[in-house]
Amino acid sequence: MFGIVRPCAHRLGERFTNEWMAHLCGLCLALRGDHGQLARIVTNYDGLLISVLTEAQLGPAEGGRRTAGPCALRGMRTASVAQGEGARLAAAASLVLAAAKVRDHVADRDGLLARRPVAAAARKVAASWGRAGAHSGAAVGFDTGVLVAAVDRQLGIETLAGPGTPILTVTEPTETATAAAFAHTAHLAGRPGNAAPLAEAGRLFGRLAHLLDAVEDQAADARTGAWNPLTATGTSREEARRLADDAVHGIRLALRDAEFSDGRLAHLLLVHELPRSVDRAFGTTSCGHAAPEAAFGPPTGPYAPGNPGTQGNPYGNPYGNPQGRPPGDPYGGPPKGPDKRGFWLGCAAALGLCCTCKACCADEFEGPWSRKRREGCRSVCSDMDCGDCKDCCDVCECCGNCCSCCDSDCGCDC
């Protein structure tokens, strides 16, 4: 599983955790039902937002849920899962974007993909996913060509980007793709008036996802010499944080202009959880299930905002000293961390997670491709503070689209 919206079960509460899981499982089963077992590995936390937004506009509908059989990822339990056009649109977008990602890895000759036979097999998988995604998209009236064109444009932009290139130039293709997917949920729900505000919310969500991915990967990319948009364009973490916070605020404002039948889960994920995603990426989160290194407050040292060692060097001497090494490191090597797995090794690791149920039943597990520490789907917060909404009421009951949550401030501008 990957994605930036990874809510804590304690904050969501039992009701909304079950709803969130229903959309996650619905996306996974839509991929399996339409495209086979292998397609399930592209299931992601952000893709389910498309299903959530569709249902939020439609409201509870007959046939919107079904009972799925026992699954290893749920500890061999049955569950009520989402189904319908929203889940199929989410599956189509996930497949097309995953196919583009595989092609990008092949072009970069990452890991095992540097070998011709493996690269040829990966290209066939990507082509199959691209065709399948286009077919599923057409079935719900969505032209996936918008996504394909945006992703293809991304490679050219990255090739030309350099010091001084605006970071928003690099994020534009991702913004365009997510805007199209978010806007189409309005057409599926029969609410054409929502298309414009949801397109704006999707555009800003794409920007945020791209920025947070760059922030989280910057240290690892510096070690491996991989291309990173922040390093390549000379964008500081301080500027990235400003843009991320602006995107979060813009999404909140855009959602106010959309009409929902029941928008509480969408509000929770896109208004309450996105700021926590930003905090997690920049190391300022306070949830007990955050990565250990994120619990020590804002970034300091090598990647602190305004560190003079990063200025004037587009390829990054991120350590702020003439030696280009971390302070106190006598050998000059950057801090060690787990190397990313290649595509096929990651697939094998993902299969192992599926067979052992770790993705759902463990508190934490290692991401199959990134090897980052991830939270289990059913994780429950420790005794540490889970944020402002820890003691909230059953969220958003006060006015349907915002909340006053007892006497605490949940960050909403009611």
The tens digit of pLDDT for each residue in 19-35 reads: 999 999 999 999 988 88
Q: Are 410 and 388 in contact (CB under 8 A)?
A: yes
- Residue 17 tokens read as 């955790």
Supply the pLDDT for residue 179: 95
3-state secondary structure the chain: CCCCCCCCHHHHHHHHHHHHHHHHHHHHHHHHHHHCHHHHHHCCCCCHHHHHHHHHHHCCCCCCEEEEEEEHHHCCEEEEEECCHHHHHHHHHHHHHHHHHHHHHHHHCCHHHHCHHHHHHHHHHHHHHHHHHHHHHHHCCCCCHHHHHHHHHHHHHHHHCCCCCCHHHHHHHHHHHHHHHHHHHHHHCCCHHHHHHHHHHHHHHHHHHHHHHHHHHHHHHHHHCCCCHHHHHCCCHHHHHHHHHHHHHHHHHHHHCCCCCCCHHHHHHHHHHHHHHHHHHHCCCCCCCCCHHHHHCCCCHHHCCCCHHHCCCCCCCCCCCCCCCCCCCCCCCCCCCCCCCCHHHHHHHHHHHHHHCHHHHCCEEECCCCCCEEECCCCCCCCCCCCCCCCCCCCCCCCCCCCCCCCCCCCCCC
Looking at the DSSP bridge assignments, the partners of residue 81 are 66
Backbone angles phi, psi at 373, to 5 degrees: -75, 130
Q: Which residue has the tokens 């420790």?
A: 382
Report d(CA 286, CA 34) in Å as an integer: 40
Report d(CA 332, CA 329) in Å as an integer: 6
Supply the pLDDT for residue 109: 72
Supply the pLDDT for residue 251: 97
Looking at the DSSP bridge assignments, the partners of residue 366 are 373
- Residue 394 tokens read as 């059953």
From 144, 34, 52, 42, select the one nearest 88 (Cα to Cα). 34
The answer to whether the pTM exceeds 0.75 is no
Question: 67's torsion region: left (phi>0), alpha (psi -120 to 50) or beta?
Answer: beta
From 290, 250, 218, 221, select the one nearest 8 (Cα to Cα). 290
Q: Are 404 and 392 in contact (CB under 8 A)?
A: no
Other residues' Cβ atoms within 10 Å of the Cβ of residue 59: 12
Report d(CA 247, CA 204) in Å as an integer: 5
Max alpha carbon distance in the chain (Å)?
Answer: 66
Q: Are 154 and 174 in contact (CB under 8 A)?
A: yes
From 102, 16, 89, select the one nearest 53 (Cα to Cα). 89
Q: How many CA atoms are closer than 13 Å to the CA of 261, on its beta-carbon side?
A: 14
From 4, 48, 26, 40, select the one nearest 129 (Cα to Cα). 40
Other residues' Cβ atoms within 10 Å of the Cβ of residue 192: 10
Supply the pLDDT for residue 107: 73
Report d(CA 338, CA 367) in Å as an integer: 11
Supply the pLDDT for residue 166: 95
- Residue 222 tokens read as 């510096």
What separation in angstroms does the CA of 239 have from each of 211, 303, 405?
Answer: 10, 12, 32
- Residue 5 tokens read as 């919206």
Dihedral of alpha carbons 297, 302, 303, 308, sign: positive
Q: Which residues of the chain have pLDDT under 70?
A: 1, 108, 110-111, 285-339, 354-364, 373, 375-414
Chain mean position to CA 24? 13
Chain mean position to CA 193? 26
